[in-house]
């Protein structure tokens, strides 16, 4: 009996624990707000479907995956905002709750790019956050760790009834969450980053509707 109890205790300890590592891809589902995220057409945003994330400012475009280092980087990993009518690259939302029929506000999810690329880079598409020592900034980048560290929150209702949303990043093992904003420090490219003056307000457009 003692041996069985010891085995049970050890098995609990060996279960994945999100506090063990900031790169642990496991995130337990949280209570849903029951408020769905809506796209620009007023439809609920659905898991597994492709969407463009665009700035609510019409002078800015959508998120795009590029390589700011040019040919020195094999797989692009820098996340920027395009200009004007540029929709950017489509993304897919995957809630931490595998049974979620729609994307809900204030719940953990994964965001990853979903568009054709070279075979070697197809898994290097999930949103992550990396610290850049040269600038002291934490940038949103694309990587190979599928984790649930982002949330979508309601921003405000804009003219014409369009709902604006914000995106936040939450650290593993803590209650620390940070608004995703923009940083213009590298050659004036608007990169997604955490330490900014204000959150980036966005709206979502289903890729098939463009």
Express each pLDDT in 118-134 by its tens digit. 899 999 999 999 999 98
pLDDT at res. 22: 41
Q: Which helix (H) or strand (E) holds 152?
A: strand 150-157
Give the DSSP letter string of 176-209. -EEE-EEEEEETTEEEEESS-SSPPPEEEEEGGG
**The pairing of beta strand 109-113 with beta strand 91-95:** antiparallel
pLDDT at res. 59: 79
Residues 21-33 have a mean pLDDT of 46
Domain 37-209: which topology? Trefoil (Acidic Fibroblast Growth Factor, subunit A) (2.80.10)
pLDDT at res. 161: 64
Q: Check whether 190 has a pLDDT greater than 70.
A: yes
pLDDT at res. 53: 97
Closest alpha carbon to 117 in 190, 178, 67: 67
Three-class secondary structure of residue 2 per DSSP: helix
pLDDT at res. 23: 45
Residue whose entry in the numeric block shows the structure tokens 């769905």: 36
Q: Check whether 35 has a pLDDT greater than 90.
A: yes
Query: What count of other Cβ atoms lies within 10 Å of the Cβ of residue 42?
Result: 9
Residues 162-170 have a mean pLDDT of 91
Beta bridge partners of 186: 189
Residues 128-149 have a mean pLDDT of 94
Three-class secondary structure of residue 62 per DSSP: strand
Closest alpha carbon to 88 in 106, 67, 61, 113: 61
pLDDT band at residue 6, thresholds of 50, 70 and 90? very low
* Alpha carbon distance 1, 57 (integer Å): 65
Q: Check whether 43 has a pLDDT greater than 70.
A: yes
* Alpha carbon distance 174, 193 (integer Å): 19
For 72-86, how does the pLDDT look when each residue is reduced to its tens digit (9 = 90+)? 668 999 999 998 889
């Amino acid at each position: 009996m003692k041996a069985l109890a010891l085995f049970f205790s050890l098995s609990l300890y060996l279960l994945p624990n999100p506090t063990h590592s900031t790169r642990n891809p496991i995130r337990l589902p949280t209570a849903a707000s029951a408020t769905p995220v809506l796209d620009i057409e007023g439809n609920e945003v659905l898991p597994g479907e492709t969407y463009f994330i665009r700035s609510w400012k019409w002078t800015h475009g959508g998120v795009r995956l590029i390589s700011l280092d040019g040919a020195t980087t094999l797989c692009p990993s820098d996340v920027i905002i395009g200009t004007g009518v540029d929709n950017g690259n489509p993304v897919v939302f995957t809630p931490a709750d595998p049974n979620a029929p729609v994307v809900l506000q204030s719940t953990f999810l994964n965001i990853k790019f979903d568009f054709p690329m070279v075979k070697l880079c197809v898994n290097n598409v999930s949103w992550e956050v990396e610290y850049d020592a040269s600038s002291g900034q934490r940038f949103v980048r694309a990587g190979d760790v599928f984790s649930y560290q982002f949330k979508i929150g309601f921003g405000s209702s804009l003219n014409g009834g369009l709902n604006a949303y914000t995106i936040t990043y939450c650290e593993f093992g803590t209650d620390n969450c940070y608004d995703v904003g923009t940083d213009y420090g590298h050659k004036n490219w608007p990169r997604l980053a955490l330490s900014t003056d204000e959150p980036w307000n966005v709206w979502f457009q289903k890729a098939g509707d463009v």
